Structure 1
Amino acid sequence: MYHIYSINYKKEGQVINTFTFDVTFYPGKKKRMIVPQQYYKHFHSINTIDYGPYKTTVECLAHQKNNHTIYISSPLKSTINLSSNKQLSLYVHGNTCVIPLTFGVFLAGFQKDQFPLGNRTKLFEQMSKAGEKLGFQTIFFGYQHVLQNKRKINGFYFQHNEWKRDIFDFPTVVYNRIPNRKIEHHPEVMQVMEIIRLEATIFNDSFFNKWEIYDNLMKNPSCSYLLPDTILHPSKQKVMQLLTHHPIYIKPIHGSRGDGIVKCQKLSTGEIECHFYQNDKPKINRYTDEESLFTQLFPNGLKGYVVQEEIPLLKKGKSAIDFRVHTNKNHKNSWEVTLIGAKFAGKGSLTTHVQRGGSIHVVEELFPKSQADRMTSKLAKTAVHLANAIEKSIFHPIGEIGFDLGMDQEGKVWLFEANAKPGFSIFDHPRLEIKASEVFSHLYKYAFYLHNMRLNKAL
């Protein structure tokens, strides 16, 4: 049955009346929408229609058959990629008819002050604005905001430049932005994740297992040459053998932000020099006795670690450079590169992570334009190829991957890490910060694809 109600959609501070109709599609030859005569006064002036990333002209007519059905022509349905909805909600703003969408962001770390998401608040405001331009309202929520008995969310949303809170139905699509593995495995978070999976389509469901990603890519002849030699659960003897040939990195397969990484190299004196973090501060130890090394740095053994050869990377001055390449799915379910940044390791740091003192740069800052263009083109092509390969081994929807890529002095690209939850610190650079809206808009474009797939019962 037809109903009209006011919900949280606003334009320029005004509450927008949202109409919900039953939908009937008809063949037709023109992009037309035919609404009940009783409500034509709300629609008579529209000449365009917006649905997610799609916008097109439309002719609006009236019918007198009933007061609860809207008729959509096949050309209009096809042009805006409208799913086979049985009902359709929409609102009118000026001369435009908008089919509104909701987008959920599952988070942790909410606070009680005016910035509910702490130092991430401004970025999530920017995300919400990017979604609004595509007709989405964004709901930010944690496990504690899910009303399990009612299957609703008491979530936050950003509107008219202020944060508000309300109770919402579950959106059809949820973006998992849980910030770390410890929280991801919290029992209450895991319980709510099961509810979300039932009520919505969730993408970037969990952090990657680094070894599984590496192992799958090693089995792919088109990708294996991009990977440094890596060994899972190395023995002490294997570590010592590798050290006689080149420096190595020992990494936990479930680590992030550089946690647990140890760089080892054998000095001309025969000592083994190890760089690592202790209480978030860089440390350097030298060992003459290998047993002391393993006892102190790996008291529980090397199970759950990988050992990886060090690649001689391009340098600027004395600093090695690697690259963050951000890839996103679009509304056509295809991968695109949305951002490329260069990273230097901080003084005394063994990684380029910003949280560890690394610095961010635009590639064009570091190299002449022609060289920078060649490098970014090669990095982008490699990242899209890797994203397509990784996706084949992931059994849930994935809409973004952040790649840490290196380039050696001969120009060969290497993959160091693929991240299902790429950090936002890359936006700390002012020339990369302006790319944030483009990155965020792709989240909504992919959500639009998943939304339609869900309504068409393909997911």
Structure 2
Amino acid sequence: MSKKKVAIQISGSGLLQDDVVMLGDKFLKQWKIPTGRPLILAFGSLSQEVTVLSVPKYEGMRMSPSFAKKLGLIHRSVLQIRYHADSRTLRIGPLISVLISRDYPEQLEKPFGSITMFCRELVGACQKQGAYVYFITPSHVETVTGQIEGWIYDDGWKKTVMPVADVINNRLTSRKLENKPSVQHFVKEVKSLYGTEMYNEKFLDKHEVFEALKTNAGLKRYLPESYLLKSFSRFKSMCLAHPVVFLKPVRGSLGKGIIRISRQTDGSYLTHATLVGGVQKQTYPTLAKLFTGLSGKMKTTKYQIQQGIPLIDIGKKPVDFRALVQKNNTGKWKVTSIVARIAGGSHFVSNLARGGSLSTLKEAVNKTSLPPEVKKNALAQMRRAALDIAAAIEETIPAHFGELGIDLAMDTSGNIWLIEVNSKPSKNDNTPLSDNKIRPSVKAMLEYSAYLAGF
């Protein structure tokens, strides 16, 4: 079994029958592909019996327009090719689909809103590396057949009918969409019927993550004290044990709904709560009154109560770090990037959605008052922590993840702490988009998808 990239050429109408493909003689000789006798051509979920004809001094694959349409392929698509002699199957691919939350068909310049540029970048990466990608939303998966309507890029965005992909990357941004019965049914069906692999298949909640990681003794040094908030006694013991604690919605994201509670010298308690327009401050004379004040929110939102960490800061603005950890082309975890995130204005959270800004890890750490030796080892320490945490998530939580956004903090003594783990990391949180360059995060996503598909 060998593999090689091949460009797809669509012949003029009527020149080729739908059950005939033409292939360069170099491929045929290299893999001993039989000509003039039927074999199976497979692309995603689609398999069709075809006869292969040889073309001298040619390194592409030719097919008829109607057959290309059936496959969903456009002219000059670049794919990898594999021949499995035992099953007489010629596979082209990998075929990848990305499940996104919504599309805007009336906006053909920007049909996927803010992630359109990422989608376009992934298309370019596939063309360079040898793969094919299309994009689907929950509205496309209402019924499960061997084909599905999705978006492709062909000198502009357009919809076409595609085979079910070898691999699906779940980029849904809401639990409500992910838990729709039609989406769950689709995932179950494509896995069982076509052997489709799906990764980042579920959201993580904060309680689930911390409870799972607590079982790993080697990670203890990274974990702040953290519990699901269920009672006043737990609330009181945490607030008395730590000068600062955080209440975080178990299923929150982008810093929404976080409450910082700090004990004052007079015994009162000051809260800072993230709101759409900024931060709301409030003082409570006792813990009992503070708990009563929170009880309304606790009826509708589950909170994780967590030990506050004395974060390093730059000009009194707290700094934390986002490590993007991805599986590589051999299925192993690797750190793609680590960036520093500096809180903006009066905010105590660093999310870009809350006015935070990005910096390189080295630049940020060097602007702090940390000792020189700690600054020197910061990157290596964070890489180690991120990889250890990713491996533990995979071992303890029963779901398939291919990339994780791991938020880390460093305290004023140089210790590293876990803030949270995100299974749907933003594509705009590491390195900026470039017109010509494919970001390492996009390339890694493609390489892992190809690995999963067997290419």
TM > 0.5: yes
Secondary structure class of the residue paired with 2:443: helix
Residue of structure 1 aligned with 2:126, choices 128, 131, 134: 131
Contact 1:339 1:435 in 2 (8 A): no
Per-residue CA deviation, residues 286-324 of structure 1 (Å, 9 max, x unaligned), is 122544433443315378322111111222221121110
Secondary structure class of the residue paired with 1:216: helix
Distance 1:189 1:377 in 2: 40
Secondary structure class of the residue paired with 2:251: coil
After TM superposition, the structure 1 stretch with the greater mean CA deviation from structure 2, 372-381 or 80-89, is 80-89
Contact 2:248 2:304 in 1 (8 A): yes
Secondary structure class of the residue paired with 1:346: coil
Distance 2:296 2:218 in 1: 38
CA change 1:340–1:116 in 2 (3 A) is: same
Check if 1:42 corresponds to 2:42: no
CA RMSD of aligned residues (A): 3.4
Q: Work out the number of aligned pairs and report it.
A: 395
Query: 1:385 deviation in Å?
Result: 1.6
TM-score (norm 2): 0.77
Per-residue CA deviation, residues 395-414 of structure 1 (Å, 9 max, x unaligned), is 23211111001112222211
Residue of structure 2 aligned with 1:222, choices 202, 218, 221: 218
Query: 1:283 deviation in Å?
Result: 1.3
Residue of structure 1 aligned with 2:113, choices 115, 118, 127: 118
1:317 matched residue in structure 2? 315
1:86 matched residue in structure 2? 87
1:152 matched residue in structure 2? 147
Amino acid at match of 1:400: E
Within 5 Å, give how 1:25-424 maps onto structure 2. Answer: 32-36=30-34, 41-42=54-55, 44-46=57-59, 86-89=87-90, 99-112=92-105, 113-114=107-108, 115-146=110-141, 148=143, 150-160=145-155, 162-198=156-192, 199=194, 200-244=196-240, 245-279=242-276, 281-299=278-296, 301=298, 304-368=302-366, 374-424=377-427
CA change 1:83–1:106 in 2 (3 A) is: farther
Secondary structure class of the residue paired with 1:256: coil
Secondary structure class of the residue paired with 1:237: helix
Amino acid at match of 2:95: T
Amino acid at match of 1:143: P
Secondary structure class of the residue paired with 1:301: helix
Amino acid at match of 1:101: P
Secondary structure class of the residue paired with 1:298: helix
Per-residue CA deviation, residues 326-373 of structure 1 (Å, 9 max, x unaligned), is 011012111111111000112122211111111111123334599766
Contact 1:326 1:340 in 2 (8 A): yes
Secondary structure class of the residue paired with 1:258: coil
Contact 2:272 2:279 in 1 (8 A): yes
Secondary structure class of the residue paired with 1:32: helix
Amino acid at match of 1:344: I
CA change 1:148–1:290 in 2 (3 A) is: same
Distance 1:375 1:141 in 2: 40
Contact 2:102 2:138 in 1 (8 A): no
Distance 2:451 2:273 in 1: 43
Secondary structure class of the residue paired with 1:423: coil
Distance 1:11 1:339 in 2: 38
1:58 matched residue in structure 2? none
Structure 2: 5+ residue stretches without partners: 1-6, 22-28, 37-51, 62-80
2:77 matched residue in structure 1? none
CA change 1:275–1:122 in 2 (3 A) is: same
Contact 2:133 2:152 in 1 (8 A): yes
Query: 1:40 deviation in Å?
Result: 6.0
Contact 1:323 1:342 in 2 (8 A): yes
Distance 1:365 1:396 in 2: 36
CA change 1:360–1:434 in 2 (3 A) is: farther
Contact 1:243 1:266 in 2 (8 A): yes
After TM superposition, the structure 1 stretch with the greater mean CA deviation from structure 2, 234-243 or 411-420, is 234-243
Distance 1:82 1:251 in 2: 52
After TM superposition, the structure 1 stretch with the greater mean CA deviation from structure 2, 165-174 or 280-289, is 280-289
Per-residue CA deviation, residues 47-67 of structure 1 (Å, 9 max, x unaligned), is x99xxxxxxxxxxxxxxxxxx
Distance 1:230 1:384 in 2: 21
TM-score (norm 1): 0.76
